[in-house]
Structure formats: structure tokens, C-alpha cells
Structure 1
Amino acid sequence: MDRQTMPKLFTNGRIYQNADTRVANILVENDSVAAVDVNPADHQDAAVIDLAGGALYPGFCDSHVHLVEAGVGFSGVDLRGKNDPEAIATAVAAAMASHPGDAPFFGSAFSLADYDVWSLADLAKLDAATGDRVTLLADDLGHNLIANSAAMAKAGITAATPVPSGGKVITEDGKPTGMLREEAMTLAGNPLLPLFTGAAVQEGARRFMNAWAAMGYTAIVDLMGAPIGRILRPEMCREMERKGILPLRVNYNYTFFGLDDLDGGLAEMGHDTDLVRFIGNKLFIDGAYAGGQAWTTWENKEGGHGLHTVAPDDSMGKNQNINRIIARLEEVGLNCHYHIQGDKALDVTLDALAAVVAKKGKLECVHTLIHLAFPRPDQIERIASFAGKVVTTVQPGFWQAEAGLERYYGEANNASYPIKDLFGAGVATGMSTDFFVSPLELAAPTKVMNIAMVGGGASRKPLSMRELLSGFTQGSAATTGKSDVGALAPGMKADMVLYERDLYDVAPQDLAAANPKVLATWVSGRKAFDAASK
């Protein structure tokens, strides 16, 4: 019998079925848990996996990440720390010199103090660096995009181009400067992202996936889309699976932008493989919290209520009516993830979900609320009232990565990201990083745990290790709509992570990206990462 397919008996360690229950051993057959607490004498044919006193947990899932999108930018330029037009143009020129040719060029992670002041002079500096080569540069939030003149010409962006709902095109003297904000990013992204192809994209995505496996993740929810548009590459992931080089379970979404393209997600159904699985659609309700664009009931310090891409009625057209959108999702059976930051964004979404319940008696699909910067206590109670059909995914790392946003929200910022309250209300809550919005150094589960358990402010109450383990396992699994992951019970997928020490025994302040060390991961019973071989 092949050693990869023969039964495996995991023993001699602290073995957790879930955040609460420990067992003496786990028997794995093929890709799933066959039994726990077995008599080893009854399984002489099994390969014994000696955990040597390490701690084994259900595999961790990063329930909101953009590793495929990061792969698109792999062959371009990292613009982190490049925060003015001159620095951006200089960095792009240097990177293009080492990436010759005329293939489309991508850069990411720049930041500007004020995106609305990007000018035609700034565009000219970029054009001087890029020439006629199509160039797209995404900021560190993923919610602002600079397109050079060649890219705008290729995409057909002119002063007469209609601006999508929830987007802004920055202009000067009636001419677009190349700065596309929020949903306006799709004007360049949707027509031009398909041009970024080839081995470099796969290699970039694989590098990031290998990094996530080494950090202890066995699965991700890859949104395969952003305000820039769809970055739909499931077949690339399936090719990696066929080659035996996919180190993670990839759950992916179909990003859509209104009623007109909602049904596109239906074409993704029925093609799942063991490791690459479609879990539903993804929709933007409002803009970036860190860009001051959360849609709030109260006025922010810039004098507005943020930015929104939908409405609770037909005032933005039938295509953007959230009630019509959610009713259609339920009608066709598509789960959905919703980018929501402000309390107003959450109000209109919960109202639309409640309208379905009022009409049909219940929700059939799983609806995942992403981010939730400013949920009110009454809204958290409403989320809990949907009996597990409305779940959430949050990023404790944002407590650190998005510090200092009082400039947008004033005192209200002190009430942002009340993650502990979601757990307290019994809401299924997944843990995530939102990389590469959040920096790589905050991506390891143990670093997320460190930030979350130390806490930081009145609304940012420390989480317990039990809550975090539940969030990385069962909570994140809830956001996928799948019932075969998230715990190590018989019949469940054998996705597992092994640490050198029990996470319950490590003081919060001592948790770090490499402490305790990840020793190995298994995905569907097959070893995906082994620290000893690195």
C-alpha cells in the first residue's frame, strides 16, 4: 500500500478535535478522519505519526485573503513606503528596467496622504517612467488604483466614461488623471487584469501560499477579486493541485458588482476538486475604512457619510438595490460575502436579509459579513438572530495595522472592530488577515493571536485563546458554507496543523510569528508543510 494512502495514526501529542476537546489519537484514512481514541493494536496496518509531544489542531483557515491577487503583482514592483508621485515614478522606472518588454506591468502597496489630489502633472511623471507600457498601480488598501495613460487608452477610459456606482474618477480640467477610487477601479481592472497571465502569476501565488502553509494555515478563502475587479483564477489553482504543488485548500469567491453580473457565480458551481472549492459570491457594500470611506449613519470628519455601492431601494438603479440583490442570491442558491465597514452599510444589509426571512421564513444561503468596523450592539444582536445563516470574518491585525484613523472618524474610531462582542453574542466568527491590505508581518496565526489577546482600547477587548482557536477553525469554516472542515471529527477532512507547544500554554505577550514554531501541516491527510525539510 502507498504510504500516502495507507491509514495514519497520529499519536503522542496534545491532540485537539476542536478548541475544547482533546483526544489520545486520531486515525486518518484517505483524506478524512476515520476515528479518534482508537486502540492502536487494532490498527497495525496504519503508519504511526509520532507527534513527539507537539500540539495538533484542526487546520487553520485564513477566511479573507488575496493570495491570487498578490500573485498578479509578483512580477511587478513593491511600492510600500513610496508615498509621493516622485517616489512612485522612480520606483516604477527602476523595476521596469529589470522587467524589460512590453507585457502589462503591475505595482502595489503605495500610500498617499490625499488620493483626490493626484494630478495630470503626477500622471505625466508616471507616463515618463512607463512609456506606452500598460501599467496599473494599486495602493496598500486595495481600494485606489493609478492607471497610466497607456492603460486608460487600452481600457477606453475618457472624460466621457460613466463612473460606476460607489466610485470616483479624479479629474483635472475635465480630464482623468489616472486615479481611480473604489468601484471606479473596475474601469481599468475588469478589461486589463486578464492581460496579466503566465507562469509569473502562478509562481507568485504559489510563493505566498507556501508562506501561508509555513505559518500554519491549511486553508484560505481567496476572494479572487477586489474593487479593482475580478481576478478569477480557480483553474490556475486546480493546475497546481494536479501538479501536487498546491499547499493549501483554496476556497474562492466570484466577485460581482450588482444585479446584472450576479448570476456569473452560477458558472463556478459543479467544478470543485478536493482542494479548490467555490463557496459563493462577493459584493462590496461600502468603501475602505482605512481610506475614510466606511458608510456610516453619522458624519465623518471629512464631512460626509462615506461611500456606498448599493442602496436599499432603486435610487441608484435596480442593479444596485441590495434588496433585489439578496433576494436573487437566495433565489439561485448563491452564498455571499459582503464587504461592510460602516453601521449604515450593515443596516441596509441586515434589513435586506430580514426581508427575505419575512417573505420566505428563513435564509437558505450563508451570508458572511466581512470586516465590520463599526457594528452597533443592536446590530450584533441582529446578526446572532439569523440562526447561523449570517456569519462574520474579522481581522484582529487591523487593530495594529489601521491605527490612527481618528483623522477620519474622530472619537468614533475608538469604537471600531469590537470583535469580542461578536463572540459574546454567539456569532460564528472567522479569523483572517486580509493580506495584502494587512502587512505580511502580521499574517501568522500566532501573531494575530498576540495582537488579539493583548487587546487595545475600550472596544478592542482581549480575546481568549479558545475564541481564537474557534475562530481560525470552526468560525472560518462557517464562512465557507462547507460542513466537512473546521474540526477533527470522524468524517471530516484531515486538515491539521502541528505546533511544537500547546498554544494554551504560551503567554499572550510571548506569542509571535515564529513562537511557537509550526512543525507541519496536513491537508486532506497529506503532508503539505514540513519544517524539518526546510
Structure 2
Amino acid sequence: MTTQLLVGGMVYSSPAVPDATALAITDGVVVWVGTDDVGRALHPDAEVVDLDGHFVAPAFVDSHVHLTDMGLRLTGLDLTDATSRTDCLDRLAAHVADSDQAIVWGLGWDASTWSGDQPDDDMPPTTDDIDRVAGGRPVYLARVDEHSAAASTALRELVHGIEAVTGFDAQGPLVADAHHRVRAAARALITPEARHDAQIKALDHAASRGVVAVHENGGPDISGVDDFRSLADLDHGVTVRRYWGQPVSTLEEARAVVSAMGADGIGGDLFVDGALGSRTAWLSAEYSDAPGEFGVSYLDEETIANHLRATTLAGVQAGFHVIGDGAVAAVAAA
């Protein structure tokens, strides 16, 4: 057996040892927590590591990630800090000039926080705006909640009949089914190599923050089958637990989905509704800034109840994406 004794730190531990400064690790297992002097006496032959005042805590688990998205944001077009429509388009132009990828994938814009000197600087980019900057390239720019997106004409044209789909807007961001279809078209343009690089980048980032396990919340309208299955082949020290957001109605169907997808659970981001910022969260009263709009309901109470029954019989963890009070009420009733 080999033992390391870590001393001189601030160790997060139980209330029984609130002043812990040291811990002993034998063959990868924490076997003791306490103070430096007691640790040295109990483990005289241990390799001593000086923590130099650093804080020590159990590793973290991130229970809701989309690894490919996270990696693309880390390596690509991150619009989280954009301050206006003009700024967003300037960032897009700079990225287009430097990127040779088949799809320009941007994430994180939030027009509700924008302002500026130009007309409509507090509004999302339009299709014409994006076309003017990106020319004929497919461009997908997801809002911060990823339940709506602005998209170029070149990307929209990859979805046959999108004009007739719920949530379509010729110039504004796409929501609901129109968004899901455009997202799938954009996702299909990401090469396997680019996808793998993004996933590894995301896991490296998680590890750098003390995260040792993540829960991927995938689904047909989020990551797609190929992306979800590819996660099983990753070779990385961070554990990936996978949840697939697809409704099932019978025990047999639940077992079939788990088997086909290699999923640890059927839920996670199983959409009951959308998000407030995209006005797709399912509300019991109309949106105060959009009279007559109550959001989107993707699953009704009966479908939710059948899903819960089927997954319970299969011994598989269920779960839902629920934002609005109307969606919460439906899940609670089910």
C-alpha cells in the first residue's frame, strides 16, 4: 500500500472535523481527515504533499451538459459577451473570416441585454443581417437558452418545407419545431472530427474546474443520435453518464430505447416545454410582453404519465425539461 499525506490546506469535511487541514489517501482512497500534527503521527511513512493553503473539496459532478455544444463554444463563436446586434454581427464577421468549417455555429446571444447606437441594436440579428455578413455560408446562431436560433438562408434552405413548420419566421429567430429542424441540419454539417475535438475540449474544461463526471442531456432535437452514440467512444478521465430525451409509452419501448442508445436514463432534456427567453416556456397565463402567447407544449399530461410508468417498470431513471408553470403543473399531475 502507498499513502499520500496532504497537509497545510483547508479541507472541506464533515462537521465532526471542521478545522481539518490534512487528509491521507491510500491506494486512491481517502482513509483519514484531520489536522497536520495528527496526520503526521498516524502516517509516518507517507509521502507528504504540502497544500500551501489551498482548498480541498470532493470532486464535482455537472448534472446537465451538452458536450459538443460546450466544446464548440470554447473553440468557436461564443456570443455570450455580445453587447448589441452590431457587436454580434461584427463578431460573426471576424469568425467567418477565420473559419473554414462547413457550418458556422455560434452560441449564447441574448438580445434582452443589448443596447447600442445603431437602429435595432437591441434586436436579434435577422436572416438578411446574417446573409450580408456570411454570404452564402450556413450559419446557426443559438440564443443563450438554445431554444431558438437565428439562421442564414443557406442553412434554412437545407430544411425542405420549413416555411410551413410551427415556429418559422422569415427574418427573426426560429423557435419550436422550425428551430429543431434547422438545428438538426446544422448539426449534420459538423464533421465527426470536429465533433470529437469539441467533446474532448469540453471534458478537458470540466476537469480543469474539478469536475470528474458529467451527465450528457441528449435527445433527438438536441444532439441527435450520432452525437449521442459517439460519446460512448470517448477516452477521457471524466466520466460521462448519458441521458436520452425521448418519450416512451411501454415497458418494451423503454427497454428498446435504452438498448439502442446505450442510455443510462430516458429523460434529462425530454422537452415538456421550451424557455422563457424564447417565449416557448409553457405558461398558465399569457406572456406580459406577448399578449395571446402561452408558450409551447411538446408533451401532454397523458404522454408524460405513460413515460413515467414505462420507465419506472423498466427500472430506468426518467426526467424532463420543465420551465413554465403550465409545464410544471402537467408533470406534477402526471
Normalising by the smaller structure, the TM-score range is 0.7 to 0.9
Unaligned runs of 5+ in 2: 113-119
Unaligned runs of 5+ in 1: 172-176, 271-277, 314-320, 353-534
Amino acid corresponding to residue 294 of structure 2 in structure 1: H
Distance 1:56 1:238, change over 3 A: farther
Quick check: 1:297 aligned with 2:287?
no
Q: Which residue of 2 aligns with 1:307?
A: 296
Q: Which residue of 2 aligns with 1:103?
A: 102
Q: Which residue of 1 aligns with 2:134?
A: 130
Q: Which residue of 2 aligns with 1:61?
A: 61
Distance 1:280 1:73, change over 3 A: same
The answer as to whether partners of 1:26 and 1:36 remain within 8 angstroms in 2 is: yes
Partner Cα distance (1:49, 1:346) in 2: 49
The alpha carbon displacement at 1:258 in A equals 6.6
Quick check: 1:33 aligned with 2:30?
yes
- Aligned identity (percent) is 23
Partner Cα distance (1:20, 1:129) in 2: 61
Quick check: 1:153 aligned with 2:157?
yes
TM-score by length of 2: 0.74
Partner Cα distance (2:32, 2:210) in 1: 23
Matched residue pairs, number?
313
The alpha carbon displacement at 1:259 in A equals 5.6
Query: SS where residue 156 of structure 2 aligns?
Result: helix
Structure with the bigger RCO (C-alpha within 8 Å, sep 6+) is 1
The alpha carbon displacement at 1:24 in A equals 6.9
Question: Match for 1:281 among 242, 252, 267?
Answer: 267
Amino acid corresponding to residue 98 of structure 1 in structure 2: D
The alpha carbon displacement at 1:68 in A equals 3.0
Q: Which residue of 1 aligns with 2:6?
A: 10
Query: SS where residue 159 of structure 1 aligns?
Result: helix
Partner Cα distance (1:118, 1:39) in 2: 59
The alpha carbon displacement at 1:189 in A equals 2.3
Q: Which residue of 1 aligns with 2:117?
A: none
Partner Cα distance (2:232, 2:137) in 1: 28
Question: Match for 1:144 among 131, 144, 148?
Answer: 148
TM-score by length of 1: 0.49
Distance 1:225 1:68, change over 3 A: farther
The answer as to whether partners of 1:294 and 1:342 remain within 8 angstroms in 2 is: yes
Quick check: 1:253 aligned with 2:243?
yes
Distance 1:7 1:169, change over 3 A: farther
The alpha carbon displacement at 1:14 in A equals 3.8
Q: Which residue of 2 aligns with 1:264?
A: 257
Q: Deviations over 1:119-153 (max 9, x none)?
A: 9xx42442343344332111122111123232233
Amino acid corresponding to residue 283 of structure 2 in structure 1: T
Q: Which residue of 2 aligns with 1:492?
A: none
The alpha carbon displacement at 1:288 in A equals 1.0
The answer as to whether partners of 1:295 and 1:308 remain within 8 angstroms in 2 is: yes
Partner Cα distance (2:145, 2:222) in 1: 11
Distance 1:16 1:70, change over 3 A: closer
Partner Cα distance (2:10, 2:180) in 1: 48
Quick check: 1:346 aligned with 2:328?
yes
Answer with 209-218 or 225-234: which moved more. 225-234
Amino acid corresponding to residue 151 of structure 1 in structure 2: L
Quick check: 1:324 aligned with 2:306?
yes
Amino acid corresponding to residue 71 of structure 2 in structure 1: G
Q: How does 1:171-210 map to 2 (within 5 A)?
A: 171=170, 177=171, 179-210=173-204
